[in-house]
Chain A
């Protein structure tokens, strides 16, 4: 997706652009698939950074301007309402920050003023310059908020939707995620992520861009400090003035033929998930689940790290329903009632299973994860008519990221540069995550490195 956004920018300014996609379908983690006659999105729970039409500030408005799309093109319908659920405390939030304000005042009356202070300190963060990106989000929160439970509850959704680092979060990433989720908000196109991808591909092609599917890159041919050719698995070699890679930092280095020593694995991200999808015989709200997204955690402390043992850690999770958005009345609601559930998983444990055991463990962890989730939302299990589970193995297949790391490497490369003069990074490892993040990343790297001369 970041590649498509960069491609549109460059093709619009008359550059000859070729996008190489490993798979027969596009989108990477923001892709979609069809199984048993049903359409599923891969990564999409929600498009974040939702702002209403006419808004001029913020990443959504910026990317629409940069790619020359109309607000209406993405057909975004806002969420109904979401929640952060910890034992005995629930904080609701919507796309209007006033509601979260009132929820904090209700559940944490002593923190009302501190939360205000937090809001004023966050709005000044500039995501175009990213001057203060480093630093600990936990330390920052600790300096503003006294109640440790509120700190954990604020961090839970922000880490779930975009933190590549275990335990703590970079201050800049915290600001970006806080804005994208609490100050802006969630939305979804009725037709899912495919609608956004369709628009991007159509625009890219109409500007003369070339999109080559099933074109996996085997290596980057290097001469001195420049990439001189991109060799595909098929043996074909393409030449280009500049290369943008959305493969990830470590994964891109591995493609460079000049880096002979093994790139250490620990620099790749560790956080990956299983996704348990339940198809219901009713709309989710008819079984009592009317919220858009619920981030739950079953103890006062939120543990954001790869499981210490076992295949998954079900203490925390994200429950979401694509049905629970305010779709326009003419489109009705989605035909199938769907509840998706994301659970932290361990990549290595999943890839080391043999096929029979893999299938068995998928079913076992579906049950365990759902059993954990229904402590926080009404029990929907008697209405389930179909299920699908995808695992870190699936995520690696879609993204080719080491460890199936959903949010990429913990150390971001914000300026997108590499050891080679004409090779740049875009996508998750450059710094922005999610659908809007991927698009903004592609745009900013194209602007910064490919348009100014």
Chain B
């Protein structure tokens, strides 16, 4: 997967775990927390959905990389390159 596809996949996961959120105006450089009403349980779900859908393992100490769309895509690129 390339960066654009990873971005689409994250958007799909977000729409699954927070169906009431309007994701159309999401800014990639701004933290998810500042734009969406996500709590720590929702962040766990991003990790869990990536594992469930793509077998991507994200250790707990790396959760901080999922702060915004830009950092998430950058972090996932090497992990999802072969998918």
B-binding residues in A (CB < 8 A): 12-14, 54, 56-57, 61-62, 65-66, 68, 70, 128, 443-444, 447, 451-452
The distance from the CB of B3 to the nearest CB of chain A, in whole angstroms, is: 26
**Chain A binding site: helix, strand, loop or mixed by DSSP?**
loop
B residues in contact with A61, CB < 8 Å: 37
| A-B residue pairs in contact (CB < 8 Å), sample of 10 | A13-B48, A13-B52, A56-B21, A62-B39, A62-B41, A65-B45, A128-B41, A443-B41, A451-B44, A452-B44
* B→A interface (CB under 8 Å): 16-21, 37, 39-42, 44-45, 48, 51-52, 60
Could you say which of B19, B37, B48 contacts A451, with CB atoms under 8 Å apart? B48
Given contacts A56-B20, A452-B60, contact A66 B51 (CB under 8 A): no
CA–CA, A81 to B48, complex, Å? Answer: 41
Asked if B20 contacts A447 (CB within 8 A), the reply is: no
B51 touches A13 (CB 8 A): yes
- Cα separation A447 to B17 with both chains bound (whole Å): 14
Contact yes or no, B37 A56, CB < 8 A: yes
Interface centre among B18, B19, B41 (most CB of A within 10 A): B41
CA–CA, A57 and B21, complex, Å: 12
Question: B48 to chain A: which residues have CB within 8 Å?
Answer: 13, 451
Give the docked Cα–Cα distance between A14 and B52 (Å).
8
Q: Within the assembled complex, what's the spacing in Å between the Cα atoms of A171 and B60?
A: 31
Report chain A residues within 8 Å CB of B44.
447, 451-452
In the bound complex, do residue A444 and residue B41 qualify as a contact, i.e. CB atoms below 8 Å apart? yes
Query: Shortest distance in angstroms between A374's beta carbon and chain B's nearest beta carbon?
Result: 44
Contacts of A57 in B (CB 8 A): 37
Give chain A residues whose Cβ lies under 8 Å from the Cβ of B42.
Answer: 65
Give chain B residues whose Cβ lies under 8 Å from the Cβ of A54. Answer: 20
User: A residues within 8 A CB of B52?
Assistant: 12-14
| Known interface pairs A56-B18, A65-B18; 20 further A-B residue pairs with C-beta atoms within 8 A, sorted by A's residue number | A12-B52, A13-B48, A13-B51, A13-B52, A56-B21, A56-B37, A57-B37, A61-B37, A62-B39, A62-B41, A65-B17, A65-B42, A68-B17, A70-B19, A128-B40, A128-B41, A447-B41, A451-B48, A452-B44, A452-B60
**Could you tell me the distance between the alpha carbons of A65 and B39 in the complex, rounded to whole angstroms?**
11
Which residues from B are CB-within-8-Å of A56?
A: 18, 20-21, 37
Across the interface, which residues of A come within 8 angstroms of B39, CB to CB? 62, 128
Q: Which residues from chain A contact B21 at a C-beta distance below 8 Å?
A: 56
Which of B17, B18, B37 neighbours the largest number of chain A CB atoms within 10 Å of its CB?
B37
* Nearest CB on B from A169, distance (A): 25
Complex: how many Å from CA A54 to CA B18? Answer: 11
Does the CB pair A68–B37 fall under 8 Å? Answer: no
The CA of A14 and the CA of B49, in the complex, are separated in Å by 11
